[in-house]
Structure 1
Amino acid sequence: MNKFRLSLLTLAMAGVGSLACSAVAQTAEQAPQVANQQSTNDSNATAQALDSVEVIQVRGFASSLFRSLDAKRFGDTVSETISADDLGALPDVSMADALTRLPGISAVRTGGQAAEINIRGMSGGFVFSTLNGREQVSTSGKRNIEFDQYPSELINSAAVYKSPKASLIEGGVAGTVELQTASPLRNEKQHTFTVNARGMYNDRANEVPDGVEFGHRFSMSYQGKFLDDTLGFAAGYARLYQPSVATQFVGLAYNGQKDTNDDGVNEFISEGFEIQHKGGEETRDGYMAALEWTPHDAFTLKADAFLSKFDKEAFARGFRVKFGGPTAALGNPTLNGRSVIGGTFNRTSSSFTRVEIVNDDNRDYDEVSSFGINADWDVTDTVNLSFDVSHSSAKSDFRNGLLWALVAEDANADAPVLDTNVSISYLLNGLNLPSVGFNQAEAFSDIDKVMVSKYGIYPFVNEDEVNAYRFDVSWVLDMPVVASLEAGVRYSERTYKNDRSVFEYGSDGAFLNSQPPLRLTADMVEVVDFAGDFANYPSYLAIDLDKALNSWFPQGIPQPVQTWGIGNPDVINSPTPGLGPNTAWSVQQSGDVYEDVLAAYLMANLDAEVFGVPLTGNVGVRVVETDQRATDLADVGGDPLKGAQNITDDAGLVNTRYAASIVGVKYTDVLPQLNLNFGITESSQLRFAAAKVLSRAPINRLASSTSFTISDDGEINGDSANSPFLRPFEAMQYDLSYEYYIPSGAISFALFYKDIKSFIQDDVIENFDFKAAGFPVPDVYYPDNSGRPVSTTNGNLNTAVNNQNGGYIRGAELAFTKVFDFLPEIWSGLGLQGSYSYTESEVSLVNSLGGEPIETTFEGLSQDVFTGTLFWNYQGFDARVSARYRSPFVSSQVGIDEQITNFDSETVIDMQTSYDINDNFKVLFQVNNLTDEPTKSYFGDKAQTGTIQFFGRQFYFGAVYTF
């Protein structure tokens, strides 16, 4: 026991001494029992070790780096951390920006802002995230945490665990991100109050009609200790209001084929492209509170709450080109291999070639909340108990409102007729903007030509929540090798709900007599010109959505509903059978997923010597039982012998075609894990980690909507796009890292290898047991026109499956931090922080969106990722420039539908300067995306343009007051 305490204190003294920023304040007998505290909260172990040291602050950015290095050095896993001093210091709009400055971590930008993070070449679906040690659900509708939902001002620390240990909640093949809010009793000062205010300006907003140029950030927080430091309270509020602007070209997938050069072989034709202005406003309000009570040294009770509301109102205006597929007339085609990248499309009597003037209005209301209570009790000097109850919920209400307008021969005619004289010329230019031409170009901004032809609104409403209960116990042992034991059990219940609804009126490709188009008036429209890089593209009419809809629907705009559709032949009480849209998808794509998880672990913390080398770490195993189920609508063709029921939608229409049930599977995973840390010298250590890890399938892919048939001989066969029978992604992973701590800095090098066991893909499950899975199939079936019964037998289910052909992901990371304090005084605060990561994988995915199927890399994998920060501090003046680079990678872009494309490399540069006027007040100036780096993507080959999107620079000026 004493040997274990002394070992930790020796490490702490060596680390802080090497950084020249602290001194020893307590003796070995006063050092905390770190192993005892690990079971209470995994992320507190490092902080507890450092409590034994009195820290003399190094001012400026260097101090936060030193804290991060200390946390990394004394952690028991391969990890990266960000200290409280660092969060929100650079233009970190959210935690996504902050995390991308860590080695091996990159971001996918959405609307110009970092949102999803990738770790070691794996996308956000493989990243598990916790807040205060508790599982977090997401507004993404998947499992991907959208880190822009979390204000950096309200997060006290962050850690990325690249190697797991048994006490961490399972779920991260790529890694686990642990966010921590404030613990008021651990605050150094008795009372702290901070106010942070910044104004914001986007320099591209003036290029977007109705674009908002100015925004702001504001936050305030308080931490205080009362009743002789036995009661602590913390609260915080952070508000972000910012413009969201972009100008973009989006190429659409190659989903048509035609022999364009009479060689007897079909070439691939794109669906078309979009050229648009995007704008809007984003408002995020975040709230945090914590109450901590320690009536005596052996017991602590803490309650904390976190709430973030992110409201986004966005519009997209411009035009969408539909080439018309193989039925259009194509002249002068330009080919890239077998894909058409240029030519002239002319409408024919059988094609739908057209230009749609789009005025879309999207509203996204996202809310995340997390609540928890934790009780921690030192029963004896060697036994600790911890009990935790938590609730995490997320709700996303995305309303996708689309307004289509088409060119008429004469918009003033009593019966307007679509102008079918359409000719579209284009030539892609790789990762530069393409050349385009339209014979109707002048009509796009002519109120006497343009008419609104369709309005549609398509809400996506997702609700996701998890309730969890956790009990942990630890024993400190007086043994030669095992310093302590930890064990625990956790039970969670997760419910995911997806609700789709719809309202449609009119047609996006024609003028309907039954739902006539809208004649526009001058007060509804504004002629909009493209500017800057897009100045050569034609002007168009921007339509005021509210005015147009109020005119089109004077009795009020109908609200979307979840409905079978009035034109659905299976609806038995349709008011107008055979007329109107068939919107059964709004019911079929709605449903619930239930996931109950029971996990238990046992872990031994190690403290020993091997051939005179100190050894610490842990070895353990985690056993996880998962019970996952989903509601299912099985298309049984209305056959009551197959369970067909009368199912009523929100509009009161009854469908007789489907059978409803709940289907699913239960399974158990055993996850052994090992972390070994060898203290080679007082300033260097070697780490080795090995573990079996898992990431569950995206929760929306566990939803179920199935059709099945029974043949005359009784064989059951089915189809389902998603599947509640999907098992987790599994991998064996190995990490080897070396860390060398130099005066005022550190160097680290790491190798990693992940042996991925399976991926999700569409395939066939043979001899599938439909009845055992919960499908409403009969034991006996009566074939049509036959009075004889036949026994049913299991056939195949075509669905999403776990492909067992996995592969490896492997790579290396190098990180360097150094403050050049040996320089003359004015330059003694100069420093550099940098990292480089190399990742490769034999895993490949087949993508046919660019035409001929090609192999692409694993989604989210960039071979090269670099982060670097050059900083300087002198007499209250602090300046830094940060850059993050990632080489090409595969991810999704959003056109008409989500499309998986290749993204080009990108370098995002941020900068900040600040000056401390006194100990309490400082002013700052920041620039985010200093070089206005665009996002560019392509369909497998750079000649086949995907997205070219510019977001602008964001400038911040503000002040921080602390007392």
Structure 2
Amino acid sequence: MSFKRNLLALAMASAGIGLFCEAHASGPGQDLQPPASDHAAASPQGTRNGEATAGKKAAGDAKPKQKSDKDKLVQTLGTITVTGFSRSLESSIDYQRYSDKIENVVTAADIGGLPDQSIADALTRLPGVAAQRIGGEASQINIRGLTGNFIQTTLDGRVQPSTSGSNYIQFDDYPSELIHQVSVYKSSQADLIEGGVGGTIAMETANPLENPKDQSFNVDARGSYNSRANQVYGANPRAFRLSAAYQGKFLHDTLGVGLGFAELSQPHVAEQYVNESYSNTPATLGGRPVYVNTGVQINQDGGSERRHGYMGTVVWQPDEHFTLTGTGFYSKFHAGSFQHGLRAQLFTNGGAVITDPVVSPGGALIGGTASSIPGGFFGIPGLQAFSVATTANDQSNDANVFSGGLNAKWHDGPWTVTADFSASHAASRTVGSDVTADPYDGLGSGLPLIADQSMSFALHGLGVGDFSVANPGMYTDLGRMALSSYGVYPTIYHDRMKAFRTTVKYELADNPVFYAIEGGIYLNNHDYSADRKVWLYGSAWGQYWLSTPNQPPLALDGSTAVKTCWKGSQFGKFPCFLALDANAILAANGIVPNPQKDWSQNWTETQSGGVNVKVRDAFLQGDIDTTVFDRELTGNVGLRVVHTSQYSPGLQQVGNGAGEPIADGRGVISTDYIRVNPGQTYTDYLPSLNLNLHLDDDNQVRFAAAKVMSRPPIDLLKSGVASFILNGTYNLSSGTNPLLDPMYATQYDLTFEHYFPDSSGAFVADVFYKHIDSFVQTITDYNYDFAAHGYTVPTNPQTGKPYLNGEYQTAYNNTKGGYVRGAELQFMKTHFLPGVWSGLGVAINYAYTQSGTKVESDLGGFPQKQNLPGLSKSVASAALFFDHDKFSTRLAANYRSPFVSAAQVSFTYQTVYFAAEKVFDYQAAYHFNDHVSALFQVLNLTDQPTRTYFGNATQTSTIQYFGRTLYAGVGLSF
């Protein structure tokens, strides 16, 4: 090889890095979605899908043509003959090895082959990937310390809508039985759709033409048992999973059909001890300033969850040049979660008398006795802010996701052309109802008043605390208890996308550096809407006779309230309570809830609204295949140009009847609001570089660099704002901002990869660095120029001139930004022992991540700086598995060190610290023959709780136990 050729390759690399560093200042973005779905045989998303060679002849060279990475992948996959978890692991090794970017892969031997409870569980097998457990089940994913809003998610190459109401995907919407392969892209390249500073999660369904059988039909049925459900009111310990899949090839293997169905039924189970957040204004207790918590709760979360998933694929490949693929995916998820228990509330702002306080070294209340105020709150007899209320809260959710499209691919000679049309829709309806019942004096009289009460509590850090009441029998006495308040707060989200994508690729014959040039366009219309509604009855403070005189407390009876006592060692010490059927209580009194948008609760109008985003992309990419110092160098260099238009129709409150007539959901007309549609357009230039230097057949070094972006959380782009007038100034409050910019970052990766012979293992070390330019925060701007930013400022009737500028409570891109950096280690090995023990294998991952970015919080009372949400310094997973003949078994463990994230407490989300977690799972399977198998699983083997805290571990936030789940079932294959 000539010295000139080495210089050319190195110059190309330098030019790519230079292009990367000189990117347009308007902001770069990562394109983290796989190309349009390309189900070529054994070629994973993200690997090169052309016929490039790994050692092309340069001009003047006599070097023979070598096999491309794709050819090598096909060959190695074809030699895999092992079964069980070893087969999945060794396939993933080869996909990772021959990818042209940095990625990790989880594969399934066939549809339904992923041995995990959910896609999120499967992803935690990968280095640098951690899951946050929601309701005991892995749902939200963090990659390299970044939360779901920094992650792009695709299915068959198409960006997925979300049921979360924001950008992040809830992976329990996607049955693992219908997913054939999942990849995590950690570096970017120009042909990938932008959207993930943290990474891209690319899910793939199976291609029936790649099925080794002409016809196959698989059925999997499992029954389950939850060990804690018997301790929770309204939870059934027994449930099931059922899936079926068919794949067939017709017309001389030119037509493939794949169909899949998966159903899940499982209990919703949690026992909770909750300490609510602290006031940031200290009270004086015992002669010293003390930060007081809002209250303490003990809850049982019961109910059930049900999911139905459907998948269909049709592939027509009449010849070697043309492939037409149609795919459709639909999932419907229902979670009926009901929270029952006791809530001692409103300790702060003088709402309760606090005696015998126990104070942490940081000055926070962590124990004591809270009692009613003698003579009543504000000196009004019978008015009490404090009460040990019996709660019956509905936190149900109904969600569905559809994703489908048509993909055409034509290949002839050096040309490859693809076109992909897709449409997707996600919808969710979350009903949060806040129900309280209280003990009364004089119930049944003309003026029942909340009884005087007293309770004591003590926090035990990361353990379950104490909760006791002075008169336990009062809270199960049907003669004294009555329903005080019922609030229903539905939230409805719709997330719709329509997209078109096309790429053209041309393979170069004898270019010394590039084996192909490709380019394309991407168009996406994204429409999002959120609707808030409300319906209220009674008063949680018992002052119905002041504010709602026609809504008195509602009596209970044995058919609407069931005495419920705690069980088990952790919670059995707590007082019994009444499990309320709140809807039956209303029905017995002829009351029918009718939640609507309501001007009297104007947040239902201003927090409703839509966001319209149009994306127009173009990219150009050169695919590299050359040699440097007699070593093969592959990869790509490219540029993606992204043009975005984002606008948000909503309402702005101007007041004083200065708006236009608008009716709420109850037909009431208001003239205090105007319709607005603010937004912006911008263009980003996103260069990327991926280089892979093949040191020899078993070792390679990768370098990747890119400008990347994540779009701001779409719920924060809403324009609706409420206003208030203060001292001649006009002030707006929303917490959202339609002018938010994306979150930009510059990222680098350097990896060393060693692969053991015969795809039997790998060792990979990766160091990475991301400089994130900005994060989205909620701030208050105290002298905001509303008119300059397109907001109408109403006229002050006293001056005849517009009001003066006041404060704007809004979302904002913090320009300080910060870094995220770390290292990842991955080790996988099978067949390292002789004889019968050759089926023993191990997979170990470890990631260390750190960031200098801090976020402000005062939920613990005193001001503090918390770590970047989602970031655990240490994340590790390990699996020990054994496959021999007809038997397979696996013991898996996941660990993550403490991290900061949002946790739901009642109906509010609080950013708290999560304690370290270790979760163990076990699985065993036996194949009786080619058609029948049996499976046994234990999930959360040690019943690991989720534990959160404020500021330091002495200030408990939430301790939740979910139980362990046992699965047993059979699989049939024909």
- Normalised to the residue count of structure 2, the TM-score between the two structures is 0.89
Q: Does residue 1:932 correspond to 2:951, yes or no?
A: no
Which residue number in structure 2 is paired with residue 543 of structure 1? 580
Give, in whole Å, the separation in 2 of the partners of 1:90 and 1:179.
12
Select the residue among 481, 484, 492 that pairs with 1:453: 484
1:782 offset after TM fit, Å? Answer: 6.2
Which residue number in structure 2 is paired with residue 385 of structure 1? 417
Select the residue among 239, 245, 262 that pairs with 2:269: 245
Q: Does residue 1:95 correspond to 2:143, yes or no?
A: no
Q: Does residue 1:63 correspond to 2:76, yes or no?
A: no
State the SS of the aligned residue for 1:96: helix
Select the residue among 367, 374, 389 that pairs with 1:342: 367
Q: Does residue 1:598 correspond to 2:631, yes or no?
A: no
1:222-250 CA-partner distances (Å, limit 9, x unpaired): 11111111111111000001111111111
**Aligned counterparts, 1:356-505, within 5 A:** 356-378=389-411, 380-419=412-451, 421-478=452-509, 479-505=511-537
Q: What one-letter code is carried by the residue in structure 2 that aligns with 1:294?
A: Q
- Normalised to the residue count of structure 1, the TM-score between the two structures is 0.90
Give, in whole Å, the separation in 2 of the partners of 1:403 and 1:329.
24
**Percent sequence identity over aligned pairs:** 40
1:754-790 CA-partner distances (Å, limit 9, x unpaired): 111101123467997756755345xxx8653557x78
1:837-884 CA-partner distances (Å, limit 9, x unpaired): 111111111111011011111101111111000001122111110000
Q: What one-letter code is carried by the residue in structure 1 that aligns with 2:363?
A: R
1:523 offset after TM fit, Å? Answer: 2.2
**Aligned counterparts, 1:884-895, within 5 A:** 884-895=894-905
Evaluate the alpha carbon distance shift between residue 32 and residue 707 of structure 1 in structure 2; reply closer, same or farther with a 3 A threshold. Answer: closer
Q: Does residue 1:518 correspond to 2:554, yes or no?
A: yes
Evaluate the alpha carbon distance shift between residue 709 and residue 541 of structure 1 in structure 2; reply closer, same or farther with a 3 A threshold. Answer: closer
State the SS of the aligned residue for 2:495: strand
| Contact kept in structure 1, 2:276 and 2:957, CA below 8 Å | yes
Which residue number in structure 2 is paired with residue 752 of structure 1? 768
State the SS of the aligned residue for 1:143: coil
**Aligned counterparts, 1:646-657, within 5 A:** 646-657=661-672
Give, in whole Å, the separation in 1 of the partners of 2:49 and 2:283.
76
Give, in whole Å, the separation in 2 of the partners of 1:710 and 1:258.
28
Q: Does residue 1:632 correspond to 2:650, yes or no?
A: yes
1:1-39 CA-partner distances (Å, limit 9, x unpaired): xx9xxxxxxxxxxxxxxxxxxxxx9xxxxx9834599xx
Evaluate the alpha carbon distance shift between residue 247 and residue 90 of structure 1 in structure 2; reply closer, same or farther with a 3 A threshold. Answer: farther
| Contact kept in structure 1, 2:113 and 2:180, CA below 8 Å | no
Select the residue among 254, 272, 294 that pairs with 1:230: 254
Give, in whole Å, the separation in 1 of the partners of 2:211 and 2:80.
15
State the SS of the aligned residue for 1:658: strand
State the SS of the aligned residue for 2:738: coil
Give, in whole Å, the separation in 2 of the partners of 1:958 and 1:856.
45
| Contact kept in structure 1, 2:282 and 2:861, CA below 8 Å | no
**Aligned counterparts, 1:856-867, within 5 A:** 856-867=866-877
1:658 offset after TM fit, Å? Answer: 1.2
Give, in whole Å, the separation in 2 of the partners of 1:793 and 1:485.
57
Give, in whole Å, the separation in 1 of the partners of 2:942 and 2:491.
35
State the SS of the aligned residue for 1:523: coil
1:733 offset after TM fit, Å? Answer: 0.6
State the SS of the aligned residue for 2:843: strand
1:663 offset after TM fit, Å? Answer: 0.7
**Aligned counterparts, 1:14-53, within 5 A:** 33-34=50-51, 50-52=73-75
1:55 offset after TM fit, Å? Answer: 2.6
Give, in whole Å, the separation in 1 of the partners of 2:398 and 2:228.
25
Give, in whole Å, the separation in 2 of the partners of 1:371 and 1:923.
33
Unaligned 5+ residue runs, structure 1?
A: 4-24, 26-30, 38-44, 566-582
Give, in whole Å, the separation in 2 of the partners of 1:540 and 1:135.
46
Evaluate the alpha carbon distance shift between residue 134 and residue 527 of structure 1 in structure 2; reply closer, same or farther with a 3 A threshold. Answer: same
| Contact kept in structure 1, 2:932 and 2:973, CA below 8 Å | yes
1:251 offset after TM fit, Å? Answer: 1.2
1:710 offset after TM fit, Å? Answer: 10
Give, in whole Å, the separation in 2 of the partners of 1:399 and 1:320.
20
Give, in whole Å, the separation in 2 of the partners of 1:748 and 1:860.
24
Which residue number in structure 2 is paired with residue 116 of structure 1? 140
Q: Does residue 1:615 correspond to 2:633, yes or no?
A: yes
Give, in whole Å, the separation in 1 of the partners of 2:495 and 2:152.
15
Evaluate the alpha carbon distance shift between residue 549 and residue 782 of structure 1 in structure 2; reply closer, same or farther with a 3 A threshold. Answer: closer
Which residue number in structure 2 is paired with residue 875 of structure 1? 885
State the SS of the aligned residue for 2:449: coil
Which residue number in structure 1 is paired with residue 170 of structure 2? 146
Q: Does residue 1:321 correspond to 2:344, yes or no?
A: yes
| Contact kept in structure 1, 2:150 and 2:199, CA below 8 Å | yes
Give, in whole Å, the separation in 2 of the partners of 1:793 and 1:483.
63
Give, in whole Å, the separation in 1 of the partners of 2:807 and 2:478.
56
| Contact kept in structure 2, 1:151 and 1:286, CA below 8 Å | yes
Q: Which has the higher contact order (CA 8 A, sep 6+)?
A: 2
State the SS of the aligned residue for 2:816: coil
Which residue number in structure 2 is paired with residue 20 of structure 1? none
1:437 offset after TM fit, Å? Answer: 2.3
Select the residue among 799, 807, 812 that pairs with 1:801: 812
Which residue number in structure 1 is paired with residue 297 of structure 2? 274
Which residue number in structure 1 is paired with residue 32 of structure 2? none
1:657 offset after TM fit, Å? Answer: 1.1
Q: What one-letter code is carried by the residue in structure 1 that aligns with 2:616?
A: L
- Which one is further off, 896-905 or 254-263? 254-263
| Contact kept in structure 2, 1:256 and 1:271, CA below 8 Å | no
Q: Does residue 1:531 correspond to 2:567, yes or no?
A: yes
Q: What one-letter code is carried by the residue in structure 1 that aligns with 2:538?
A: G
| Contact kept in structure 2, 1:88 and 1:98, CA below 8 Å | no
Which residue number in structure 2 is paired with residue 302 of structure 1? 325
- Which one is further off, 814-823 or 478-487? 814-823
Which residue number in structure 1 is paired with residue 593 of structure 2? 558
| Contact kept in structure 1, 2:923 and 2:935, CA below 8 Å | yes
1:906 offset after TM fit, Å? Answer: 0.5
Q: What one-letter code is carried by the residue in structure 2 that aligns with 1:739?
A: E
1:342 offset after TM fit, Å? Answer: 1.2
State the SS of the aligned residue for 1:66: helix
| Contact kept in structure 2, 1:36 and 1:474, CA below 8 Å | no
Give, in whole Å, the separation in 1 of the partners of 2:798 and 2:365.
51
Q: What is the Cα-based RMSD across aligned positions, in Å?
A: 2.4
Q: What one-letter code is carried by the residue in structure 2 that aligns with 1:433?
A: V
| Contact kept in structure 1, 2:53 and 2:69, CA below 8 Å | no
**Aligned counterparts, 1:165-184, within 5 A:** 165-184=189-208
1:113-149 CA-partner distances (Å, limit 9, x unpaired): 0001100111111110001101101100000101111
1:257 offset after TM fit, Å? Answer: 3.5
Pairs aligned (count): 896
Which residue number in structure 1 is paired with residue 922 of structure 2? 911
Q: What one-letter code is carried by the residue in structure 1 that aligns with 2:326?
A: A
Q: What one-letter code is carried by the residue in structure 2 that aligns with 1:519?
A: A
Select the residue among 948, 956, 959 that pairs with 2:967: 956
Evaluate the alpha carbon distance shift between residue 518 and residue 256 of structure 1 in structure 2; reply closer, same or farther with a 3 A threshold. Answer: farther
| Contact kept in structure 2, 1:90 and 1:911, CA below 8 Å | no
Give, in whole Å, the separation in 2 of the partners of 1:769 and 1:346.
47
1:555-612 CA-partner distances (Å, limit 9, x unpaired): x5132111113xxxxxxxxxxxxxxxxx111111111111111111111000011111
1:639 offset after TM fit, Å? Answer: 5.0
State the SS of the aligned residue for 1:701: helix
| Contact kept in structure 1, 2:111 and 2:206, CA below 8 Å | no
| Contact kept in structure 2, 1:157 and 1:181, CA below 8 Å | yes
1:613-664 CA-partner distances (Å, limit 9, x unpaired): 1100000111111111112322212353xxx111111111011211111111
Evaluate the alpha carbon distance shift between residue 782 and residue 436 of structure 1 in structure 2; reply closer, same or farther with a 3 A threshold. Answer: closer
